[in-house]
Amino acid sequence: MKKILAATLSIGMALLAACGGERAGEQTDTVAEAKTFTWKLVTSWPKNYPGLGTGPEKFADMVEAMSDGRLKVRVYGAGEMVPALEVFDAVSQGTVEMGHGSAYYWKGKIPAAPFFTTVPFGLNAQEMNAWLNYGGGLELWREAYEPFNLIPFPGGNTGVQMAGWFNKKIETMEDIEGLSVRIPGLGGEIITRAGGQSVTIPGGEIYTAMQTNLVDATEWVSPYNDQALGLHQVGDYYYYPGWHEPGPTLEFIVNEAAYNRLPDDLKAMVRVAAQAINQDMLNEYTARNMTAMEELVEKHGVDVRPLPDEVIAGLRDVTEQVLAELAEKDPLTKRVYESQMAFKEKAMAYHAITEEAFYDARRPEPESGYGE
């Protein structure tokens, strides 16, 4: 009887211990889920600047709402914590957890980086999203950023941009020679090769640079943002199309160590919120650009002009030369270049009988639109 009682007591104690262990495990999981994370997000744009600056703010609001306050993100505009063009370093070094900017600003660190923003005469917004998400582009992008302890996510798109504001008429390729143009990324490489001088300065300094003749011309974004900066007050001619930035993709960059400290559900929220902002920003620019262009033309009398066919052809020739040369200088750049160009060829062939054919079919007159 004593042996039976002892055995029964042992089994009871074991069951109690097991139940206690399960409850302890449940408590541990609950504590992990309840932990709150606070991130800093620095941007390359002025605080709350339309589109570019409000995108990160929407991201922060979305993540906090989805996580029920477990992940809070505080957004800092350019210069509030770090200068506009030092976002990459701040996130890479872990000074902050996250950033929002444009990959072509980092071409001095990663030769392939500009390809993840936009390529002159390259992919438009729809095609960039397709290449990144379903054509191998995102894998290449993350490979390029991995040595810097960074994880990139597509973070917005403005659609095809304008060619920019000029204080000189552009009628031939010779008119570009000696011209000082604020234009970053691969577009800047093309302008330099064409005989001009490319200058990279953040958006907050563009108006003054044009006003004081520090530059003769500038590209910024598109009517929505150009009007917000007041560039119609300092530029005589507004040229199109945006040959240099047909599908300008912005980026969220996350410090890898900070990302890995998040539980899986919060990681998923970061990914989903970034994807949502990527599409939302394109939607916003598509709507706002139309209204802004009407106002620029009808209210401010802006002189909207197409770049002559001769200039477009010349810039395209220079672009092909520069891209081919860049691809030969760096193995990763070559892989990115070949991947994107192969995708572009397929997209062009298909869109010739879909998107482009439809645009031609719905246009009542060939000359309908703005400009000459």
Q: How far apart are the C-alpha atoms of 220 and 246, rounded to whole Å?
A: 13
pLDDT at 13: 42
Confidence of residue 16 (pLDDT cuts 50, 70, 90): very low
Tell which residue, 105, 122, 123, has the closest CA to residue 114: 105
Confidence of residue 89 (pLDDT cuts 50, 70, 90): very high
pLDDT at 204: 87
For the chain, which residues make up each domain, given as ranges?
35-157+248-286
pLDDT at 368: 55
Gyration radius (Cα) of the chain, Å: 26
User: Is pLDDT at 205 greater than 70 in this prediction?
Assistant: yes
pLDDT at 260: 98
Confidence of residue 367 (pLDDT cuts 50, 70, 90): low
Sign (positive/negative) of CA torsion 26, 29, 31, 33? Answer: negative
> Residue-wise over 151-172: b if at least 16 C-beta within 10 A, else e?
bbbbbbbbbbbbbbbbeeebee
CB 197 within 8 A of CB 181: yes
Name, in order, each residue with C-beta under 8 angstroms of 304's C-beta and a sequence gap of 6 or more: 238, 239, 240, 293, 296, 297, 370, 371
User: Is pLDDT at 24 greater than 50 in this prediction?
Assistant: no
pLDDT in tens, 245-299: 999 999 999 999 999 999 999 999 999 999 999 999 999 999 999 999 999 999 9
Q: How many CB atoms lie within 10 A of CB 33?
A: 13
Side chain identity at 137, as an amino acid letter? Answer: G
Q: How far apart are the C-alpha atoms of 355 and 160, rounded to whole Å?
A: 14
* Max mean pLDDT range (140-144, 198-202, 363-367): 140-144
Q: How far apart are the C-alpha atoms of 264 and 159, rounded to whole Å?
A: 32
pLDDT in tens, 112-132: 999 999 999 999 999 999 999
pLDDT at 370: 75
Share of the chain above pLDDT 70, in %: 90
Mean pLDDT of 181-207: 95
Note the CATH number of domain 35-157+248-286: 3.40.190.170
Confidence of residue 14 (pLDDT cuts 50, 70, 90): very low
pLDDT at 364: 83
Tell which residue, 68, 65, 24, 67, has the closest CA to residue 262: 67
Confidence of residue 371 (pLDDT cuts 50, 70, 90): low
Q: What rounded mean pLDDT belongs to the chain?
A: 92
User: Is pLDDT at 176 greater than 60 in this prediction?
Assistant: yes
Mean pLDDT of 34-47: 95
Confidence of residue 366 (pLDDT cuts 50, 70, 90): low
CB 255 within 8 A of CB 96: yes
User: Is pLDDT at 29 greater than 50 in this prediction?
Assistant: no
